[in-house]
Amino acid sequence: MSKPKPKDEEILQVLKEIKALLEPKPPPPPPPPPKGFWNEFMDFISKYKVMGMAVAFILGLYLGALVQALVNDLIMPIITLILPGIEWEAFALGPFRIGHFIGALITFLLVAFVVFLIVKLTKKWGIE
């Protein structure tokens, strides 16, 4: 065999460097846990976005109450006008309160629709 030419050596060196770049690197070690109770608490608050979840939970509760008031105070009276003489909420089939379930179902569908609209609007505005 003949001795490799200088260009061949350069090519082999470049191939070795490319191979080294393509090999998976071990992940960096996790950051050390914060020292002290207060720092741990602040890390927990920021890592899990607790404040954002709390705000979303509180707003969700009031949104549910608002939609339930909409169903009970506006939509169901319209249904009562359309079906005079029938108390929709008292409608039952044996022990099953069908009317109450229909009211809860309408409330759920309206809440789901409002949440869908909020998500769609925030995506349009570029908010994730």
Q: What is the pLDDT of residues 23-60, one digit of tens each?
A: 888 888 888 888 888 888 888 888 888 888 888 889 88
Q: Judge whether 85 lies within some domain.
A: yes
Query: How far is residue 125 from each of residues 56, 78, 116, 119, 122, measured CA to CA in Å?
Result: 18, 35, 14, 10, 5
Q: Judge whether 2 lies within some domain.
A: no
List all residues 6 or more positions away from 106 whose beta carbon is below 8 Å from its beta carbon: 71, 75, 76
Q: What is the pLDDT of residues 63-118, one digit of tens each?
A: 888 888 887 788 778 877 887 877 777 788 888 888 888 888 887 888 788 788 88
The H-or-E segment that residue 123 falls in is: helix 98-124
Q: Judge whether 3 lies within some domain.
A: no
Domain that holds residue 66: 9-24+31-124
Residue type for 30, please?
P
Q: Judge whether 114 lies within some domain.
A: yes
Number of domains in the chain: 1
Tokens of 61: 């509760």
pLDDT at 18: 86
